[in-house]
Amino acid sequence: MIEAGSLIRSLSGRPAARNFHTFVINEIGLGIVTGKFPVGSILASDAVMMESYGVSRTVLREALKTLEAKGLVEARPKVGTRVSPTSRWSLFDPQVLSWHYYAKPDRRFYESLFDVRRALETRAAALAAQRRTAENIRVMKYWLHQMDSAGGDLENHGIAALEIHRAVADTSGNAILRSVTGIVELTLALALRQVGKTGAEAYLQASLETLTALVTAIGDSDSAGAGMIVEQVIDLDEACVVAALS
């Protein structure tokens, strides 16, 4: 499992693995997503990987089972462990998504991310406006305050923004819509990475203003307004990510 927000917290560098099992999953999974281990290739033998990663056979096998459950590899007797086609990858899995942060920029993939985010988040925002409670709005306003207090720190701003998106998804009351969190975090991290290179002040201010408007619309039970405003939030992140491709 990957903790929500861990990708944004790693903007200053790749996160350290918590244990050997996590380490092996990250190394192989990242290698697959970034193309170090190409689709269709056969991974090294157990003996070679055990030596390379410094782990026992048990740890290696458990890691490979986890990667197989995510659709990244397939183990076959007398053949070995083959890297699966991308069509089989579990792209709603937050960990699989997080590895794409380190992959070569891919316009078509980025467009797909924003297509899905737009479809799910606009619906989540509309439902949140219908179902919100005073406590839901209190939580969102708390994170707005954290954004406002971030003082230009990209990671703190990003974590607070992500928490608002998570709160909106939770408030929607639709468990399926909550699955958008991993996509939100990846696209948000990609946007923050870009503005960190080009100047973040205008983005951070626009992000705070649009999310404040979103929380206000949800608090006012304005479903149509909430849906329109979340589109603006997404457009802001997409513009930053697309700028990185030019």
CATH number of the domain residue 17 falls in: 1.10.10.10
pLDDT lower than 70: segments of the chain: 1-2, 12-18
pLDDT for res 7: 87
Q: Is residue 74 part of a domain?
A: yes
pLDDT for res 5: 80
Can you give the residue range of the structural domain that contains 217? 105-243
**% helix / strand / coil in the chain, to the nearest 5?**
70, 5, 25
Closest by CA to 47, choosing from 81, 85, 82, is: 81
CA 90, CA 37: separation in Å to the nearest integer?
17
The verdict on 38 and 131 lying in the same domain is no
pLDDT tens, 41-54? 999 999 999 999 99
Q: Is residue 98 part of a domain?
A: no
The fraction of the chain above a pLDDT of 90, given in percent, is 83
Collapse the DSSP code of 174 into the 3-class scheme (helix H, G, I; strand E, B; otherwise coil) and give the result: coil
Say if CB 8 and CB 185 are below 8 A apart. yes
The verdict on 226 and 145 lying in the same domain is yes
pLDDT for res 82: 97
Backbone angles phi, psi at 42, to 5 degrees: -100, 130
CA 236, CA 240: separation in Å to the nearest integer?
7
The verdict on 128 and 81 lying in the same domain is no
Q: Is residue 96 part of a domain?
A: no
Contacts of residue 171, defined as CB under 8 A and 6 or more positions apart, other chains included, come to 127, 128, 131, 132, 133, 136, 218
